Chains A and B, each alone.
Chain A
Amino acid sequence: MTRVLVVDDDPVIADLVAFRLTRLGLDVSVETDGQAGLAAARELRPDLVVLDWMMPRMNGLEMCAALRADPDEALARTPVLLLTAKAQEPDLERGFAAGATDYIVKPFSPRELATRVTAALPPGSVAP
């Protein structure tokens, strides 16, 4: 089963994203900060990470950069979708510079998020 890791310190958002992705038939795990998210990514080896930017302990950009720098090449290549309220152009540049695969600005459409997750995963990962 395709695994997705959702890392967001806002439980309302994390639950909603998990709900939408579970509907796609994905196996979803949730963490609430970057440090726990990084540890979970190393343990679960998800197929995709949905990542908030502003979080305690380790923020999303730091976690994304740490993932990209991981010695495990497969883990370092995991698609990362940043989901953040930071909407300015320089923020977007910083997000992609840190290694994000895609970028969604809050307020967001959970249906659009589901579509982008589907697009970022290998064909056939998501239930039709």
Chain B
Amino acid sequence: MTSLAQAVFIGSLVVTLLVVVLLVAVAVEHGARTRRLARDARRRAELTPLVHALLDGDAGDEAAMTAAPALLDELVLELLPQLRGADRTALQSVLLDRGVVTRAAGDLTARGAARRGRAAVLLGNAASVEHTGALVELLGDRAPEVRNAAARALGKNGDAAAVGPLLAAVTAGQPLPPGVAGMALLDLGVAALPSLRAALDAGFPVAQTLAAELLGLHGDPASTTTLIALVGDDHRDPHARRAAAQALGRIGSPVATAALADVLLGSGHAPLQCAAAEALGRIGDAGGLRALTTGLRCAPTVDVRGACADALALTGDAGHRQLVAHAQLRSATGEAARSALDVLALSRRPARQAAAA
């Protein structure tokens, strides 16, 4: 055998050995992982009856509860966000009694961002209202993921005192994304409504916009008057006014028709006019027909004419007649009317097909 052949042979042998070692290592790791998962599943199955018993307040003696492994806390934390009422309170007490909440509160000031974030998530799931202040402080944390975790935790812990800080955080030096703040505020539910209504007249336009969007999503009729004042005020931020118009559309009160009609015909801001037209369509009040028809004929942009046509399609037979009349025109108005009629015909087709079947 030549020295070259010997080298090739030895090289191949080494590569083969490495591949074999690698395969064995993967197999060992896979086996260990499978055993670990099976062990966890077995432990979870053993602990689940204990969690259920905790809900009824008969988990046996206190020593057994204290001796239960940390996996019990995981099970409780998984279940907590799905629950409300007495069962939720019972599980929160378990976390308090086992010192989980106290340890998490201590971790809020940990050096590692991941640890601070995990602690915030845990306190949110545990709905620990007494830590609202500490979580609010974390909204200004240097790490964005910790700020986001703190916002989500504030949403889950249900304390309405967090509304103001969450709204303020979207305009802070290290701002919270409005989407994250919005989700947290939605999680707070109707408890947030009074502060959201107050926010329409205070703070920065970004916060006002967010407050208007959320009030619209809640369909909050009590905010109608303030939203009307906002949408009709030429000195206010156009984005906030647009959000107010959309909110009024979602709330659906005809009380807003006149203000929205004025904005549609009087504002020079096309996105705001489009939002006003859409809102008039959603409200569907006959009082908005005239403004929508005028907008369809005279609005300076194609977008606004299109929004007026789509809104007319939502306002019943009278709106439909206006669209048919304008569809004859050879202009942007006619095109918008024809397009709205096409969409209307498409949306009615499934209903007709169902009726025929």
Contact = CB atoms under 8 A, between A and B. Distances in A.
Given A12-B78, A12-B79, A16-B79, A107 B52 contact: no
B52 A111 contact: no
Contacts of A25: none
Given A15-B48, A16-B52, A19-B52, A108 B82 contact: yes
A107 B219 contact: no
Contacts of A43: none
B83 interface: yes
A106 B81 CA distance: 9
A107 B48 contact: no
B86 interface: yes
A4 B87 CA distance: 21
B86 A107 contact: no
Interface string B72-89: 000100110111111110
B84 A107 contact: yes
A109 B86 contact: yes
A10 B83 CA distance: 14
B113 interface: no
A22 B266 CA distance: 64
A112 B88 CA distance: 12
B78 A107 contact: no
Interface string A108-122: 111110000000000
A89 interface: yes
B55 interface: yes
Nearest to B56: A23
B354 to A, nearest CB: 12
B78 A109 contact: no
Contacts, number: 39
A106 B88 CA distance: 12
Contacts of A112: 85
Interface in B8-66: 48, 52, 55-56
Contacts of B55: 16, 19, 110
* Majority SS at the chain B contact face: helix
B83 A110 contact: yes
Given A16-B52, A19-B52, A109 B83 contact: yes
Contacts of B79: 12, 16
Contacts of A107: 81-84, 88
Given A16-B52, A19-B52, A109 B82 contact: no
Contacts of A106: 82
A112 B52 CA distance: 16
B52 A108 contact: no
Contact of B84 (A10, A12, A16, A108): A108
A7 to B, nearest CB: 16
B105 to A, nearest CB: 23
B41 to A, nearest CB: 10
Contacts of B48: 15
A10 B82 CA distance: 11
Contact of A109 (B52, B81, B84): B84
B52 A12 contact: no
Interface string A7-43: 0001011011001000100000000000000000000
B219 A109 contact: no
Contacts of B82: 10, 12-13, 16, 106-108
Nearest to B53: A19
Contacts of A10: 82
Contacts of B85: 109-112
A53 to B, nearest CB: 14
Nearest to A10: B82
A85 B86 CA distance: 19
Interface string A41-56: 0000000000000000
Contacts of A13: 82
Contacts of A89: 219
Interface string A83-107: 0000001000000000000000011
Instruction: Give 7 closest A-B pairs by Cβ, nearest first.
Output: A109-B85, A19-B52, A107-B84, A110-B87, A109-B84, A107-B82, A107-B83
18 contacts: A12-B78, A13-B82, A15-B52, A16-B52, A16-B55, A107-B84, A107-B88, A108-B82, A108-B83, A108-B84, A109-B83, A109-B86, A109-B87, A109-B88, A111-B85, A111-B86, A111-B87, A112-B85
